[in-house]
Amino acid sequence: YYTVSFEKGIHSFSRDEFDYYYNIMAFQRLIKAIGTYGYQSMVKKSDRYRESITVALEYLTHLQEKHEAEALWKIIASHLKT
């Protein structure tokens, strides 16, 4: 996606900048998804998304490892099992 969107002039980010912002957005969306999955599991008593919580937390851990120098990632990582 990076190369195609860069060539079409959709953005002018370097690859590192693009990856940084992509990962920040992925982080935000994962946090939102985990909240939704938790709500569905705990409040609505639906098991439909229960397995998705684990997958989302694993990907969040992966993102944290890529950005361990940032305070936000460290805060979240302190709440994840490794």
pLDDT of residue 20: 83
Residue 78 has pLDDT above 60, yes or no: yes
pLDDT of residue 62: 82
Amino acid at residue number 79: H
Higher-scoring residue by pLDDT: 52, 75: 52
Residue with tokens 């998705």: 52
Q: Record the pTM.
A: 0.69
Distances (CA, A) of 63 to 2, 6, 19, 44, 67: 18, 23, 11, 29, 7
Using DSSP's 3-state secondary structure scheme, residue 12 falls into coil
CB 80 within 8 A of CB 57: yes
* Dist CA 27 CA 23 (whole Å): 6
User: pLDDT tens, 35-48?
Assistant: 999 999 999 999 89
Residue 72 has pLDDT above 60, yes or no: yes
